[in-house]
Structure 1
Amino acid sequence: MTVGEQHRPEIVVGLVATPPDHPAEVVARLSGELADRLAERVDADVRWIVRDGWGEVAPRRDGGAEALLDDLVQRRADDRWDVAVCLTDLPLHSDGVPLVAQASARRRVAMVSLPALGWRQLQAVRAVVPDLVGRLLRDTGDQPMSSAGHGSANRVAAIHRAVDDGDAGERRYVGSRLSGRVRLLTGMVRANRPGRALLGLSKLLVGAFGTAAFALTTQTIWQMGDALGAVRLTTIMILSLVALVTWLIVAHDLWEKPDRRTPVELARLFNVGTTLTLGLATAVSYLVLFAGTVLAAALLIDTSVLEQTLQRPVRATDYLTLGWIISSMATVGGAIGSGLEDEETVRAAAYGYHPEPDGYQDRKDR
């Protein structure tokens, strides 16, 4: 450290991820670059020190943003941070619109709701967090801050407007009523990591392939596929996917019920997030099953044999139709076999469920 650096003011910024699941991944990627971004966008004459840590595995649901900020205040004081920012996957609302972020200069803390940022959360966080830190320090008046980066959070697409709550330095950043809700739902699916749900359905997919392989040898199925039109095949496909998602939710008790800890609106959002995540995972599974079934049909069923059964010339689209109806039937069969899935793996698809990471410990004492 040079002599000049020793005389630069030092500010410690704490980043807390709660729960230590998807938010922890964002914090891990942000913490390594945040000091440089703060120097670039807030004040280059400050020596920025960034500390990161994990919050609660199951964050409080009943107090909204205020509960998160109150908990963060204690964490900031315990670790002697100058300011602290919490990243959470809780979907939050303010006056009926999605709450993207909230800053409290009086308490020197701020929070960001990752789902409200939409799908591309890391890019948005890179813009929001430096602005929140700069605003906290400017509004306290303890540190002279330059105006670099001032108002950058307002340029984030997820933020529609900023609302001052009357108290000095108390500010909420909210999304729009319509597009903000759409962005919130897509952000919830992103935070819920549908890829994890897809991997969790691996046994179901294997069982569906077994059902499809058996159905390929049944000439009655060939004739059914030829007789059904595109509308009926589409209806059968949709019903099979709905049946699978419903079965997963019911069989593994993934439906969130309101209680004294979980408000009705939050439980509703959790259930929508779970349903959308499972819907996306099962749709991708269906496409994989469909591609595999069509390929197997083209390899195993000779054109002459299919023509003899259908009693007409066979086109390439006939193999697609055959794969279509068999995939839909095999999906229903896979739903029955989904009870064989590992309970912990399937429950991870529930938005309100956060499995405790291996070797988890609160990093405040590190």
Structure 2
Amino acid sequence: MEEKTVGIVSSPELPSTIANAIKKQLKKDLSRYIADGRFQWHVEMEVDLLAGATEKVAEVLEETERIKIRNGWDYAISLTDLPVYNGRCIVLADANVDTCTAQISLPAFGWLPTPNRVKIIMLHMIKELYFRHTTDFKADDLAQKGIGPKEQSGFLNKLEKPFRFSAVRRIESSNQAEETAVRFIIVPKINGLARILFGMTIANRPWTILPSLKNVVAIAFATGAYGLIFPTLWKLSVSYEIYRFIGLTATAVLGMVVWIIFSHDLWEKKNLENKNRLRWMYNSTTILTLGTSVVMYYIVLYLLFLIAVSVFVPPDLYQAEAGTDIGPLNYLKLAWLVTSVATFAGAIGAGLENPERVRKSTYSYRQYSRYEEMKEKEKQEDRKRKATDD
């Protein structure tokens, strides 16, 4: 039996994790759904740094083709956390039919780039490369394998419309080298933009920054615990309306995000090397990533203070100081107020954290590589200016 090999070229971190998760099942699905069992399918994987660092889609596909030729693969699919554009449209996946290479952009999946969803798109791209056109894929191919009508319908629907509740449009074009390109774009544009922002935020793994904030939690908890000694916060928690609590929370979270960004130089500035669209995208992603991390931090701190006020604030004394009846809701509000006040103090502590560690925790591999590359170019420009001045 003739053998066919599909190679997955993934960038580090989240893409490689997903690739490893789908590798075994993808092999089974290829054998079941493509080519009537005429081939024995193999799936191999390789982690490539370029696929996670460069912003140029052409370079990623060229590198994917080089890896495909080097390993003797029949098909190669790049799995990247790089946002891909076609004009102003967001690209979910694209394929070069002539070179038998394809690329899948994880950010276009939005909040849920689950292995199963990625696998369905990967099967679709291999189908595009194998059959050349979607219309060549017939239900008879499945029927001959003993797959019933119900299974046929389910599988074909998934392939023809990967996202049932969103718009994915297929377009086909040829470049100057007369190579056929097939792309799947997200429409409308606002839908694609939202997917990219949320997808890039997930790729940055905002939950991983929490260990870097352990010292911040310690400073904030110590500050809030000290504040609980005085009855001022007790009285305020009874007097404040709910909108004040919400306003304090929003101000504390936003203040901490802004402080972390500027104290650790996480804001990407305008220069000759970056495009406004990508710079805006990366900065928006940084805000979303840190915002998600700080909200998680806030919830952890709130739970700690809820335990603290329950243990250390006697109901009788609380009632005497507040001048009104005290119930469980008052303890919830007191913990809420102390958490917001302590978060302001924690923001100062966040500025004392190691900047390099914060950047590595906040950025994905792609964004961190981009940051390092830009910093290196800035250093080179500074050295050139100094040499010119001398």
Instruction: Report the TM range for the smaller structure's normalisation.
Output: 0.7 to 0.9
Counting only pairs closer than 5 Å after superposition, residues 235-246 of structure 1 correspond to structure 2 as 235-246=247-258
Shift of 1:212: 1.5
Alpha-carbon distance change, 16 to 344 in structure 1, aligned in 2, over 3 angstroms: same
Q: SS at 2:362's partner residue?
A: coil
Contact 1:87 1:113 in 2 (8 A): yes
2:127: which partner in 1? 134
79-88 vs 35-44, which deviates more?
35-44
Alpha-carbon distance change, 40 to 256 in structure 1, aligned in 2, over 3 angstroms: farther
1:35: which partner in 2? 27
The correspondence for 1:161, drawn from 169, 174, 177, is 169
CA distance in 2 between counterparts of 1:152 and 1:12 reads: 23
1:249 aligns with 2:264: no
Shift of 1:238: 0.5
CA distance in 1 between counterparts of 2:223 and 2:25 reads: 50
1:86: which partner in 2? 78
Which amino acid in structure 1 is aligned with residue 255 of structure 2?
A: A
Q: SS at 2:326's partner residue?
A: coil
Aligned residues: 343
TM-score normalised by structure 1 residue count: 0.87
Unaligned runs of 5+ in 1: 1-7, 356-366
CA distance in 2 between counterparts of 1:159 and 1:74 reads: 33
Q: SS at 2:102's partner residue?
A: strand
2:325: which partner in 1? 313
2:183: which partner in 1? 172
Shift of 1:60: 4.9
Shift of 1:253: 1.4
Alpha-carbon distance change, 90 to 200 in structure 1, aligned in 2, over 3 angstroms: same
CA distance in 1 between counterparts of 2:277 and 2:186 reads: 17
1:323 aligns with 2:315: no
Q: Cα RMSD between the aligned structures?
A: 2.3
1:73: which partner in 2? 65
1:181 aligns with 2:174: no
Deviation track 1:49-89 (CA, whole Å, cap 9, x = no partner) reads 111111116745442x2221122111212222111000000
Higher relative helix content: 2
Shift of 1:159: 5.5
CA distance in 1 between counterparts of 2:108 and 2:238 reads: 46
156-165 vs 229-238, which deviates more?
156-165
Which amino acid in structure 1 is aligned with residue 121 of structure 2?
A: V
1:275 aligns with 2:287: yes
Q: SS at 1:175's partner residue?
A: strand
CA distance in 2 between counterparts of 1:309 and 1:25 reads: 55
1:302 aligns with 2:314: yes
CA distance in 1 between counterparts of 2:51 and 2:30 reads: 30
Q: SS at 1:201's partner residue?
A: helix
Shift of 1:319: 1.2
2:40: which partner in 1? 47
2:236: which partner in 1? 224
The correspondence for 1:349, drawn from 342, 345, 362, is 362
106-115 vs 37-46, which deviates more?
37-46
Q: SS at 1:66's partner residue?
A: helix
Counting only pairs closer than 5 Å after superposition, residues 54-65 of structure 1 correspond to structure 2 as 54-56=47-49, 59-63=52-56, 65=57
The correspondence for 1:115, drawn from 101, 107, 128, is 107
Unaligned runs of 5+ in 2: 143-154, 371-390
TM-score normalised by structure 2 residue count: 0.82
CA distance in 2 between counterparts of 1:45 and 1:111 reads: 26
Alpha-carbon distance change, 153 to 301 in structure 1, aligned in 2, over 3 angstroms: same
CA distance in 2 between counterparts of 1:57 and 1:211 reads: 45
Contact 1:102 1:171 in 2 (8 A): yes
Q: SS at 2:132's partner residue?
A: helix
1:96: which partner in 2? 88
How much identity, in percent, do the aligned residues show? 26
Which amino acid in structure 1 is aligned with residue 184 of structure 2?
A: Y
CA distance in 2 between counterparts of 1:85 and 1:258 reads: 33
Alpha-carbon distance change, 153 to 119 in structure 1, aligned in 2, over 3 angstroms: farther
CA distance in 2 between counterparts of 1:237 and 1:26 reads: 35
Alpha-carbon distance change, 75 to 262 in structure 1, aligned in 2, over 3 angstroms: farther
